[in-house]
Amino acid sequence: MYAIYHRPDLEKLAREVRDKYGFMELNCDREFSHVFILGGDGTLLEALHRYPCVLNSTIVHMGLGRVNFYRSANSISIEEAIRRVEVGEYNVLEFSTLRCGKQAALNEVAIYSAEVGKLLKFKITVNGGEIVGRGDGVIVSTPHGTSGYVISTFGPVVDYRISAVVISFVAPYTLYLRPFVLDVDRVFIETNREAILVCDGRGGEKSTNFEIVVGENKLKLATFDNFNFLNRVMERFRSI
């Protein structure tokens, strides 16, 4: 059974696909083998935010947005994508996720001060020790997420095949702080004042204590051609 999730302005195309192929709208009341994404990466992230169960399915990302880092192919019609899925002519790549409470993130989890104009003092604890500092915020990223928001912090771009999390800092007042690439599966962050948690640009949970873990479920992306990582990173840079 296939589901579809689409950007609002692509409703007509989504309706045509539903009527012709019997697709269903994405929901977590059913199990779907594949979920087709009509839109760009933002549409994919919105699907993950609204329907975490999407991680139980294989994603077919049609790349119909401005940023299409996670697209399934460089150029393919939805009819051809459906045909290839039905005959099994595709590969599956897995991308790690992060989880904080009930929220999941494909790119990054960011923590900011809830009070505008106030620096955030933070202590970050991992199984290798502690990082203490001050700044406007902290970003914990997946490897593939490092070519997104993290580049604004001058953090490194990390190959998606590496098992790691990247911790970087938004406008650090503690100037010796630099991004860290760590082989850990759990990050604890304590803040001196109420802070806001944002997952892939979505959310708004407030607290002073956060636990971010590497998700048990990975995003499974169907690919119909070679996934040239560096080429896609450079395209992502030009599209941001």
The residues carrying an active-site annotation are 41
Backbone angles phi, psi at 211, to 5 degrees: -120, 120
> Residue 216's CB: how many other CB atoms inside 10 A?
8
Beta-bridge partner residues of 24: 3
Dump strand ranges (E) for the chain. 2-6, 24-25, 34-38, 58-61, 91-95, 98-100, 103-105, 108-113, 120-126, 129-135, 137-141, 165-170, 180-182, 186-199, 202-214, 219-223
Q: How far apart are CA 143 and CA 133, in angstroms?
A: 23
156-161: long-range contacts (C-beta < 8 A, 24 or more apart)? 156/181, 157/233, 159/229, 160/93, 160/95, 160/96, 160/229
Instruction: Report d(CA 138, CA 80) in Å as an integer.
Output: 42
- Written as one letter, the residue type at 15 is R
Number of neighbours of residue 197 by Cβ within 10 angstroms: 21
Going by their DSSP bridges, the two strands 58-61 and 219-223 should be labelled as parallel
H or E element at residue 14: helix 11-21
Which amino acid, residue 223? T
